[in-house]
Amino acid sequence: MKVMKGGVKRAIIGVCAGFMNGLFGSGGGALVVPASRKFLGMDAHKAHASAIAIMLPMSAVSAVMYSVKTKPALIPALLVSAGGVLGGWIGAKVMTRLSGNTLRKIFAAFILAAAIKSFI
Amino acid sequence: MSELILMLAGGLIAGVIAGMGIGGGAILIPFLCIFAGMDQRTAQCINLLYFIPTGIIAVIRHIKNKKIDKEMVKGMALYGLVSTAAGAFLALAIDQEWLRRLFGVFLLAVGLHELLKKDEGKDNDNARNINRGERNGTA
């Protein structure tokens, strides 16, 4: 990747993240943050902050396109958001590094179980 | 009624883990499908909608703290928007069963990445603490 210019790298990461955002309705951040750290040498905080700014217009485009074809999702989205705000607050208050690492593994296990479930 | 509670619970769990840097969508979308009985596309749509207000709040805070790299945003967002539309078009065009399986591949990658990642040591503490402040801002 060293031979590529920064602009080309950014374009490639952006295109991949956008495609994931549209196809999976998520996941752009999971790609942008590690990729921009690894290939562009961004520090973690700036990568995370900038990733959100990048994902925002993508998510808006995807959400509008999805809304045409999915079941009405506004009320569930409001409920999920209310839970999300509360969860973010709880996470910031009670999470210690140790419990964070343990929880991380538990969630990873859940994600893997869900992945396996989707194949059977 | 119980579905409404499950939606709240799903958001709550996603909110907690978004602060930990794992993509909230990798938890929220399968949670909504498995426990709240939603179809894949609706769950994905909810995750997108959920990200918009929380993302706006996070971005405003990051602009104030000058943590947004303008070059990175410009260089990625413009190209990304075209492929976003293409991705969304594909997600709406293909059979939901196929979308669910494709999403399973994505989950497998995210899950393995998280599971095999080393525990966060001192090096990442700073970022973690800052991430806590951002909590909901990870899609």
Do A66 and A80 fall into the same domain? no
Co-location of A58 and A102 in the same domain: no
Structure confidence at residue B124 (pLDDT): 46
| Number of inter-chain CB pairs under 8 A, A vs B | 382
Residues A21 and A54 in one domain: yes
Q: Touching check for B42 and chain A: CB below 8 Å?
A: yes
For the question of an ipTM over 0.95, the answer is no
Q: A65 with A77, same domain? A: no
- Establish if A1 touches chain B: CB-CB under 8 angstroms: no
Residues A65, A13 within the same domain: yes
Structural domain for A89, as ranges: 72-120
Specify the pLDDT at position B126: 44
Task: Indicate if the pLDDT at residue B64 is higher than 70.
Answer: yes
Whether chain A has a CB inside 8 Å of the CB on B93: the answer is no
Q: What is the pLDDT of residues A14-54, one digit of tens each?
A: 999 999 999 999 988 888 988 999 999 998 889 988 999 99
Asked whether residue A102 falls in the same domain as residue A63, the answer is: no
Domain ranges of chain B: 2-134
* Sequence-ordered list of residues with C-beta below 8 angstroms from that of B34, at least 6 positions apart, any chain: A114, A117
Same domain, A79 and A44: no
Per-residue tokens: A40:
């562009």
Chain A interface test: which of B3, B20, B46 (most A C-beta within 10 Å): B46
* Number of Cβ atoms within 10 Å of the Cβ of B129: 12
Q: Where are the alpha helices (DSSP H) in B19-121?
A: 24-34, 40-64, 70-93, 96-116
Same domain, A63 and A76: no
Per residue in A62-104, pLDDT (tens digit) is 999 999 888 778 888 999 989 988 888 887 777 666 567 787 8
Report the number of distinct structural domains present in chain A: 2
Give SS3 for B135. coil
